[in-house]
Structure 1
Amino acid sequence: MTKLSVNINKIATLRNSRGGDLPNVVKFAIDAERFGAEGITVHPRPDERHIRYQDVFDLKPVVTTEFNIEGKPIGKFMDLVLEVKPTQVTLVPDAENAITSNAGWDTKRHKEFLSEVISEFKANGIRTSIFVDPVLEMVEGARQTGTDRIELYTEHFASEYGKGNENAIIAYSEAAKLAGSIGLGVNAGHDLSLDNIRFFKENVPNLLEVSIGHALISESLYFGVENVIQMYLQKLK
């Protein structure tokens, strides 16, 4: 069964929009796990516009499933991860002015940099994953960095699937097959939702984990958090 990691960035966004501590991100993470989530994901950015670095420290002692920290491996981020020592770190090439993640790594161009960063994280017992587009060359390049896993960037799939183009899954299926054949674990995330997650799961082999935040929180406005998490778990079976 593919694990569901709930990205709680949007909970922090809602809290920050009003000030104070409502909703409380730590309580939400605890409740999400109680409702069945098999991991908690956070993606702190340098401007701390949603998850704050202090949130990460506050979450560490209460997350009892898998704790996944995503972000661009700048110095401050690396220091945070090395101190917290989550289950997994996912490296994302965030542009400074991007609203959200919008591309995977060029693993060929950044091979040396990624290899150095990954080596340091793995030496500290932290599983590593690299955010990549479903391009075979980038998957092969990821293997050469020494990473444990890749995370397939799924925005293009989600957009095309919403238009009725089921063939958009082909590139992801092929990328996942290659990853499995060369010893890489496969994660996925970005714009996956209740509408498309079953189709994605059924057509992408070796899928170990999906990280879902924006859609899950939005769907919870209608169905409730506990119900939505259970709905995802059913579709991922």
Structure 2
Amino acid sequence: MTKLSVNINKIATLRNARGGNNPDVVRVAKDAERFGAQGITVHPRPDERHIRYDDVMQLKDTVTTEFNIEGYPDKRYMELIRLAKPAQATLVPDPPEAITSNTGWDTISHRDMLTDIIAELHEYGVRTSIFINPETKYFEPAKFTGTDRVELYTEPYASLFPSDPENAVKPYVEVSVLARELGLGLNAGHDLDLHNLAFLKQNIPWMGEVSIGHALICDALYYGLENTIQMYRRQLEL
């Protein structure tokens, strides 16, 4: 079964636009779980433009499914993971000013750095995942870092899917087979939505988790959050 982790960054963005606490990020996380989310994902950035560090500390005591904290592994992120002890830390190579994640790690040139970071995260008892591009050359070095999982960066898949779904998914199937052979757990995320999610799952049925935020929150404006989460769950069950 592929789990659905709901990224609630956009909820925090909406709250921050007016100040105050509406919508309430913690309440939305609890409701999302009640509506069927099997995990909650956040990506706190240094400027706190959406999820704030205080949010993370509140969520760590609230989330009852799998809490996943994404981020660039600087000192502040590592301290946050040490204190929050989420189920999973997902490492992304974003610079602080990035609007959103737009590439995976070069696990060849950053192998030693990632190895040290992952060892520290394991000392905290936290499962690790590395955000990675669908290129085979990065997967064996990823294995050598000691990471538990890799998360496929799926924006290229989502971009090509409307015009050529078979070629869009092909490199992802190739690297997913390799990941399974290497004993790496497999996650996926970025630009997945109600149109392309089922096809990805059908071609890579052994994915452990997908993390979806922007599209899911946008769909919730039309369908409601409870219904939308159930719609995404059904896509993973087709």
Q: TM-score range by the shorter chain?
A: over 0.9
Q: TM-score, normalised by structure 1?
A: 0.98
Query: Could you list the runs of 4 or more consecutive aligned residues of structure 1 that deviate by over 6 angstroms after TM superposition?
Result: none
Contact 1:160 1:166 in 2 (8 A): no
2:199 equivalent in structure 1:
199
Answering whether residue 174 of structure 2 is matched by residue 166 of structure 1, we say no
2:136 equivalent in structure 1:
136
Q: CA deviation at 1:139?
A: 1.3
CA deviations on 1:50-69 (whole Å, 9 max, x unpaired) are 00000000101110000000
Q: Which moved more, 1:147-156 or 1:165-174?
A: 165-174
Counterpart-to-counterpart distance in 2, 1:26 and 1:2: 24
Map 1:115-154 → 2, pairs under 5 A: 115-154=115-154
2:45 equivalent in structure 1:
45
Q: Which moved more, 1:28-37 or 1:203-212?
A: 203-212
Counterpart-to-counterpart distance in 2, 1:235 and 1:187: 16
Map 1:19-38 → 2, pairs under 5 A: 19-38=19-38
Counterpart-to-counterpart distance in 2, 1:17 and 1:77: 24
CA deviations on 1:105-126 (whole Å, 9 max, x unpaired) are 0001000000000001112110
Partner-residue secondary structure (3-state), 1:202: helix
Aligned residues: 237
Counterpart-to-counterpart distance in 1, 2:164 and 2:215: 19
Gaps of 5+ in 2: none
Q: TM-score, normalised by structure 2?
A: 0.98
CA deviations on 1:181-215 (whole Å, 9 max, x unpaired) are 11000000000001110001011242000000000
Contact 1:169 1:203 in 2 (8 A): yes
Contact 2:40 2:65 in 1 (8 A): yes
1:179 equivalent in structure 2:
179
Partner-residue secondary structure (3-state), 2:161: helix
Counterpart-to-counterpart distance in 2, 1:196 and 1:165: 9
**What letter corresponds to residue 189 of structure 1 in structure 2?**
G
**What letter corresponds to residue 146 of structure 1 in structure 2?**
G
RMSD between aligned alpha carbons? 0.8
Q: CA deviation at 1:94?
A: 0.4
Q: CA deviation at 1:141?
A: 1.3
**What letter corresponds to residue 43 of structure 2 in structure 1?**
H
Identical aligned residues as a percent: 61
Contact 2:2 2:205 in 1 (8 A): no
Q: CA deviation at 1:37?
A: 0.3
2:73 equivalent in structure 1:
73
Partner-residue secondary structure (3-state), 1:162: coil
Q: Which moved more, 1:89-98 or 1:110-119?
A: 89-98
